Amino acid sequence: MDNLTTMNYLNDSAVRTIFPKDAMPMNGSNVGRLFPKQPVGKQGFDPAMEVVYYAKLLLFIAGSFGNLVSLGIWLTKQFRKMSRSVVCSALALVNTLYITLIFTNSTTWHFSREYILSRSDISCKIKIALLGFTQHLNACLILLLSLERLVAVLSTYLVKVIFDRKKTAIYAAVLTIIILAFDVYFVVNNVSSWKPFQTYTACKLVKTFWFQMRKVLFDFIPLIVMIPCNIIIVIKVIYEHLKMRHSIAVTQQQVAKKKSIKVSVLTLSVTISHIVLTVPVNVYILCCNKHTKRSMFVVFTLLSMLNASLNGYAYTLSSKDFRNKVKSIFVKVVTHVLTCITSVCTWTHNTVGPMQ
């Protein structure tokens, strides 16, 4: 137990303060140094943190909207037949849950100066388990998306054999069960509620071998595998694009390759943004200590929220078919709303008008 390290989950999914277990404050003299008292009410107003909170609010609204719209599109008849629709639909749900958890935790602190999700051992375990589960499943699902695209650009036959819709759904389900079981086992044995001050309650996490293993298995290994996969996909896309430019005749095979390039660009937009935006927070959580600046944690948390909010917009920007579907849905919604408004106005005119 001497080598254990305690992490204080004071906000969101990452750590603010880490220190050796034998250096944990046992009396009031050391507590203030490691955990400055959190002010309550108007005295606790911090302009910088207000900006951070409203940035999280913006990311929550934009991310939830983008993820839910993309979920609806992937479930339409045109898109749900594709094997990657299973992974992209799961990503939309997982990312929405992740940004909702972070925003809920921040909102309870913003308005009540208390972490309501950290009040008891059970709520702490559920919160940390869900945050870890959504982060890890997000990374593994994007890895699955990268592997599917890698196989597709290398062999159109193999991708139909290995990554048909049913098998992709099985892969996603197996990953979900494994990650959920691992995270639940971890939090049951390593997470508890903790009250360093009377003004708030936090979640205490014991940093053991299993914590390191959890980060390596479900965060770093997917990232390490994703990088060479994306490099190969980029090289293959550039090669096929140059090859098509020098070809005069338009064949059925070229049309299929053009479609494959578009799908590859869509996948690359998701995977590259994931790599760029999640590496900082993962390195921070694994390597930070009691001297690490809290401002870095705030920035990296916003980056992780941005990563969970971008997928729907990345699909729209990188895929013409996706854009057209978004436009058609938007036109239908607007038309339906205008029809309803017109009907209400007509009914009001016909009913209220004669009465007057």
Residue 257 inside a domain? The answer is yes
Q: The domain that contains 76 carries what CATH number?
A: 1.20.1070.10
Is residue 351 domain-resident?
Answer: no
CA distance 327 to 14: 37
Instruction: At 15, list the tokens.
Output: 């750590």
Q: What is the pLDDT of residue 126?
A: 83
- Taking residues 327-340, report their average pLDDT: 86
Task: Please compute the mean of the pLDDT values over residues 321-329 and round it to a whole number.
Answer: 85
Question: In angstroms, rounded to a whole number, what is the distance separating the alpha carbons of residues 197 and 208?
Answer: 25
d(CA 101, CA 320): 32
* For residues 314-339, average pLDDT: 85
Is 352 within a domain? no
DSSP 168-198: HHHHHHHHHHHHHHHHHHHHHHHEEEEEEET
**Cα–Cα distance for residue pair 261/231, rounded to 1 Å:** 14
> Which residue's entry shows tokens 């896309």?
237
Distance, in Å, from the CA atom of 158 to the CA atom of 153, rounded to the nearest integer, reads 10
For residue 292, the model assigns a pLDDT of 59
Strand order in the sheet with 17-20: 17-20, 5-9, 200-207, 191-197
Q: What is the mean pLDDT of the chain?
A: 77
Of 226, 214, 232, the closest CA to residue 279 belongs to 226
Predicted pLDDT at 207:
62
Q: Which residue has the higher pLDDT, 288 or 345?
A: 345
Structure tokens at 154: 């290398």
73 is a domain residue: yes
Q: Based on C-alpha coordinates, what's the Rg of the chain?
A: 24
1: three-class secondary structure by DSSP: coil
| 356: in domain | no
Q: For the residues 191-196, what does the mean pLDDT come to?
A: 62
pLDDT band at 143 (very low <50, low <70, confident <90, very high): very high
Residues 6+ apart with CB under 8 A from 328: none
Over 80: is that where the pLDDT of 142 sits?
A: yes
At residue 119, does pLDDT exceed 90? no
Would you say the C-alpha torsion 76, 79, 85, 86 has a positive or negative sign? positive
Q: Looking at the whole model, is its pTM more than 0.85?
A: no
C-alpha to C-alpha distance for 347 and 284, rounded to whole angstroms: 60
Categorize the per-residue pLDDT at 9 as very low, low, confident or very high, splitting at 50, 70 and 90.
very low
Residue 354 lies in a domain: no
Nearby residues of 20 by Cβ (< 8 Å), 6 or more positions away: 5
Q: Give the integer Cα–Cα distance in Å for 71 and 88.
A: 8
Whether 163 shows a pLDDT value over 60: the answer reads: yes
297 in Cβ contact with 14 (< 8 Å):
yes
Residue 69 lies in a domain: yes
Spatial distance between the Cα atoms of 264 and 159, rounded to a whole number of angstroms:
13
How far apart, in whole angstroms, are the C-alpha atoms of residue 252 and residue 94?
37
pLDDT above 60 for 74? yes
Q: Is the pLDDT of residue 195 over 80?
A: no
Please give the share of the chain, as a percent, with pLDDT higher than 70: 75
The predicted pLDDT at position 247 comes to 66
**Residue 350 belongs to some domain of the structure:** no
Mean pLDDT of 165-171: 91
pLDDT of residue 296: 77
- Tokens 């479609």, residue? 259
| 3 state SS of 206 | strand
Structural domain containing residue 157: 5-345
Whether 38 has a pLDDT exceeding 60, the answer reads: no
Confirm if 101 and 127 have CB atoms less than 8 A apart. Answer: yes
What does the alpha-carbon distance between residue 235 and residue 150 come to, in Å, rounded to a whole number?
A: 11
Q: What was the pLDDT predicted at 337?
A: 86
Predicted confidence band of residue 312 (pLDDT cuts 50, 70, 90): confident
Domain count, the chain: 1
Residue 321 has pLDDT above 70, yes or no: yes
- pLDDT for the residue 232: 93
Opening angle at CA 59, ends 53 and 65, nearest 5: 140
Residues 131, 186: Cα–Cα separation, whole Å: 13
Tell me the three state secondary structure of residue 13: coil
Q: What is the pLDDT of residue 201?
A: 53
